[in-house]
Amino acid sequence: MKTSPYLILLTLGLFASAGTLFGTNGMNMEGYGSRATALGGAGTAIDTGTAAPVNNPATLLLQKRDARMDFALGRLGPDVSAEVPGFGSVDSAADAFYMPAFGYTRRSGKQVYGVALFGQGGMGTEYSGNSFMGLGRGLGNMTEVSVGRLMLPYAYQLNEHWGVGGSVDYVWGGMDLCMAMSGQQLMDLANPMSQVSGKASGSLLQALDGAVPEFAYFDFANGNPYFGEAKGEGYAANLGVLYEVNPELRFGAVYHSATKLSDLMSSDARVTVGATSPMGYMEMGLVGDVAVNDFQWPATYALGMMYRPASSWRVVADVKQVEWSEVMDSFRMRFVASDAASNGSMGGMDLRAELYQDWHDQTVFSIGLEYAPKEYGAYRIGFNHASSPIPTRYLNPLFPATVEDHFTFGAEHKAGRKGTVSWSAALGLENTVRNEAFGVESRHKQLNFQIMYSRFWGE
């Protein structure tokens, strides 16, 4: 079997633009790869193809053919809205995201290695400036957060029962943000005696010099559906094991490290502040640099099993622990006004803002059933549950991640002598959460779909 390295490099270039994702296990996806997703997200102890590095790299050893290449495309369909009684409701216009993925793996004796490109997860919302969130000033509110991974996995068969695997991951993250903040909210952040939802400081606040803020608007967004305006990069690693008791029973375990990402940075940000002083109303719009500080993806532990009660049936189950509390305590950013002429004497002034998040760790339960009556044919259903990690007192409609229950299903079909087409669908059931402190209510449900073509070499 010969596969041109130029084809692989070209494919990586095309798929490196994995767009913004909308996670439903916190910011994680409910599953990775069409097989695992159709089975409720359970993929720690089964063959999930080139999605193995993001599920459990040791499961690459379940690959029977000499080589495999996967091409996948997912459509994520969030349905999100926000409401404040007496002020109306607004639906998020961000209701469709497309997620490409690619992977290639090859077996050589007791080892399997390869490359894979997957989107890890994220969030995205967009609210009209004509809604209550626009503060009566036509200020649109939106977020797009995305994290992707280029993974280099390797797995080795130790003996008849045990196998190990790992991957080194190049990780990149991006963020777009347009956020309007009322004067009351800004004063809460700036007043050390209050600070219910966060805190703010910096020379820009001091420059208000007793003026009463009316609003603040943070804006760094480029309109690019694939890469956020504020960007960062770093690395992570995964380590997994696989233990096969017999052909009917198998266990898997995996540890995904937390990421080491640089700050997400942009040199094309804008902050606008309106305030009223004894001299009257004033409004200043400043351009400059923004940095989202210490945005990371959490460590995850997972245990899984596969049981085959009959030749055509498989029962799979996973339990995952996601350590959101280690990385999602606060959302922190810093803006520094540039020396552009339009900034005048305010060049070099800064504003630091911190919004409390205090996410809880999350336990994810996944279970699935597969019926495979013949080679390269299978039918799958599953269920996924994970309590929302977001405390209601810090719920922000711009950052919803509140879906808790998913029903999943899918199938796999033969496509020629050496190919298959598999697909999955995941229905995230509606969940409504209310922030009692600010009276805002967020509703979130979701329908995701993925299709994947797999090409095999060897017998």
Nearest Cα residue to 349 out of 253, 248, 206, 445: 206
Using 50, 70 and 90 to split pLDDT, how confident is the model at 374?
confident
Whether the pLDDT of residue 10 is over 50: the answer is no
Answer yes or no: CATH 1.10.287.1080 is held by domain 5-457.
no
Q: Can you give the pLDDT at residue 3? A: 42
Using alpha carbons only, how large is the chain's radius of gyration in Å?
A: 24
In the chain, where the domains are located? 5-457
Burial 69-106, CB ≥16 within 10 A → b, else e: bbbbebebbbebbbbbeeeeebbbebbebebbbbbbbb
> pLDDT band at 353, cuts 50/70/90?
very high
What does the pLDDT read at residue 456?
A: 96
First to last CA, the chain: 11
pLDDT on residue 5? 37
Report the distance separating Cα 72 and Cα 410, nearest Å: 14
What is the tens place of the pLDDT at every residue in 152-189? 999 999 999 999 999 999 999 999 999 999 888 888 88
Q: What pLDDT is stored for residue 1 in this prediction?
A: 42
How far apart are the C-alpha atoms of 253 and 240, rounded to whole Å? 6
Rounded to an integer, the average pLDDT of 312-337 is 96
* Distance, CA of 3 to CA of 217 (rounded, Å): 51
pTM, full prediction: 0.89
pLDDT computed for residue 26 by the predictor: 84
| Per-residue pLDDT at 282 exceeds 90 | no
Using DSSP, state whether 154 is helix, strand or coil.
Answer: strand
Helix or strand holding residue 123 (H, E): strand 111-127
Other C-beta atoms within 10 Å of 321: how many?
Answer: 14
pLDDT at 225 over 80: no
| Number of other residues whose CB lies within 10 A of the CB of residue 422 | 25
Residue 22 binned pLDDT confidence (cut-offs 50, 70, 90): low
Mean pLDDT check: name the lowest of 6-20, 140-154, 221-235: 6-20
pLDDT tens per residue, range 125-145: 999 999 988 988 999 999 998
Poorest-pLDDT segment among 146-155, 331-340, 404-413, 435-444: 435-444
* pLDDT tens digits for range 63-87: 999 999 999 999 999 999 999 888 8
Binned at pLDDT 50, 70 and 90, residue 94 comes out as: confident
Q: Answer whether residue 386 shows pLDDT above 70.
A: yes
- pLDDT (0 to 100) of residue 96: 86
User: Cα–Cα distance between 228 and 143 in angstroms, integer?
Assistant: 10
Segment 51-59 shows an average pLDDT of 97
Q: Does the pLDDT of residue 6 top 70, yes or no?
A: no
Average pLDDT, the chain: 90
Please say whether the beta carbons of 384 and 405 come within 8 A. Answer: yes
In the chain, what percentage of residues exceed pLDDT 90? Answer: 70
